[in-house]
Amino acid sequence: MAWYIARRLVLMIPTLLGIMILNFLIVQAAPGGPIEQIIADLSHQASAGDRFSGGSGDLMAGAPSVQSSYRGAQGLDPQFIDKLKRQFGFDKPLIERFWQMMRGYLIFDLGQSFYSNRSVQSLIVEKLPVSISLGLWTTLLVYLVSIPLGIRKAVRDGEPFDLWTSVLVVVGNAVPSFLFALLLIVIFAGGSYLEWFPLRGLVSDNWQQMSWPSIVLDYFWHITLPVLAMVIGGFASLTMLTRNSFLDQLGQQYVMTARAKGLSENQVLYRHVFRNAMLIVVAGFPAAFVSILFTGSLLIETMFSLDGLGLLGFEAAIRRDYPVMFGTLFIFTLIGLILKLVSDLTYLVVDPRIDFEARRI
């Protein structure tokens, strides 16, 4: 087992490096980097100044010298552009910039944000509790809903309960979670009908003056709609996975043998079938948590104005804040690879008969 873990840890290095190289090249090839965005913003301000000056009619007719001396009307100074490139490190070759970035990542120095003048580590640490809160509650509720529902669908395979719940599963699988979030906002968050839940933030503005019971209630009051939207959009696949896993085990020979011995249906189901059928479901918990934490919450955090990692990544991509983009990508990928190893090791907890030493990778 120790040798298998060591091999997997070693394989993480080229995997992580390959992911970073691929994304670095794609981002560098994309148009509209941070320098171009700053130039566009300044040019927009310049054009706005020209429109203001030109639209003043007779009041500005006697002041041509003011307009001609305005820097934005003359274009940006090339020396100023070169200074921007040196400030952001774009005066160096592509390979050198990538090497400096990865050398800092080896000691977990993720660099400084281009716009907030803060370290990427501090930004991630500040936003992480919000995303973890969403991810943990969503994952917990998804498992609490999907596993009992999947087991019941397998036991009642072909019955009306199975057919009607399959309709709900298909709808939940087909409709994105952000559409459910939009529906919940319209109905319950003051969109058009009710105003039962708040639309912004994870807590109220005056939460520091509240008592502990009030803080807990306020927290759940704010998080209800975001978590509900993510649960509705994420329970379908796990429900069908549980159902199909139990159906596969119910047709095995050992199940018929257990029934022939006179065991009750609950004893057969939960003493014998459950352990084998839940192998793939339980082992997939870390991967499911990563998926919900790092991908499913992006639009939800944006729609509900939750200041988490999803909103941080979205704003960094829009503003081309490369240190934040690559720093969060590095941390997310590293966590994902580690939790993938945890997923494999979870199989041992569920079924000790698995021998990883016999595997070649």
pLDDT, tens digit, 9 for 90 and up, residues 60-96? 344 333 333 334 434 556 776 777 677 667 778 888 8
pLDDT digits (tens, 9 = 90+) for 207-223: 777 888 888 888 888 88
What is the pTM (predicted TM-score) of this model?
A: 0.72
Domain assignment of residue 12, yes or no = no
Residue 79 lies in a domain: no
Q: Which domain holds residue 178?
A: 122-358
DSSP letters, 12-57, are HHHHHHHHHHHHHHHHHHSS--HHHHHHHHHHHHHHHHHHHHHTTT
What number of CA atoms fall less than 13 Å from residue 153's CA on the CB side?
Answer: 24
Number of domains in the chain: 1
Cβ atoms 131, 297 nearer than 8 A: yes
Model pLDDT for residues 25-61, shown as the tens digit of each residue = 888 877 777 777 777 766 666 555 555 444 444 433 4
Residue pLDDT tens, the chain, 361 long:
678 788 888 888 999 999 999 988 888 877 777 777 777 766 666 555 555 444 444 433 443 333 333 344 345 567 767 776 776 677 788 888 888 888 888 888 888 888 787 888 888 888 888 888 888 888 888 888 888 888 888 888 888 888 888 888 888 778 777 788 888 888 887 766 777 888 777 777 777 778 888 888 888 888 888 888 888 877 888 888 888 888 888 878 888 888 888 888 788 887 778 777 777 777 667 667 766 666 656 778 878 888 888 778 778 888 888 888 888 888 888 887 887 788 777 776 666 666 666 555 4
On whether residue 31 sits in a domain, the answer given is: no
Tell me if 73 is assigned to some domain: no
Judge contact between 326 and 23, C-beta under 8 A. Answer: yes
Cβ distance 203 to 219 under 8 Å? yes
How far apart CA 198 and CA 280 sit, in angstroms, is: 38
The DSSP H or E segment spanning 249 is helix 212-250
Single-letter residue type at 308: G
Confirm whether 11 is domain-assigned: no
Examine residue 138 and state whether it is found in any structural domain, yes or no: yes
Distances (CA, A) of 295 to 9, 123, 135, 178: 24, 18, 10, 12
In this structure, what DSSP letter does residue 357 have? G
- Read off the CATH number of the domain in which 314 is found: 1.10.3720.10
Position 289 in a domain: yes
The verdict on residue 16 lying in a domain is no
